Amino acid sequence: MNEHFKDIISAISKGDTSLVESFFSHPGGRKYLENLTLILINTLPHHYGEKEELYLGFVEVLDRMEQRIQRQKEGQEILEDVFRNPEQ
């Protein structure tokens, strides 16, 4: 596996979503990740049911990452508003 992909997987497993945020911010980026994962999973020598379960698990992880990124952005906006208007 490419060293860059190993770094991305390692970062994601530690909770760092910064490497995939750009995919979520670009049109079709989320679908790109899903399709790439589907291609990789289909190269595995396992049965179809196991592959489908793996893919659905990955989609669930993407859903959670996307929600987490959105909450982080909302929190950042709140903090920026607080520090921008300290007299309120």
Average pLDDT over residues 56-79: 89
pLDDT score of 5: 67
Whole-model pTM? 0.70
Closest CA to 70 of 37, 78, 40, 45: 78
Average pLDDT over residues 49-64: 88
pLDDT score of 31: 92
Average pLDDT over residues 67-80: 88
Structure-token match 């909450």, residue found? 71
Higher pLDDT, 10 or 29: 29
pLDDT score of 1: 56
The token duo for 44 is 């595995």
DSSP element (H, E) containing 38 = helix 29-42
Residue 57, pLDDT above cutoff 60: yes
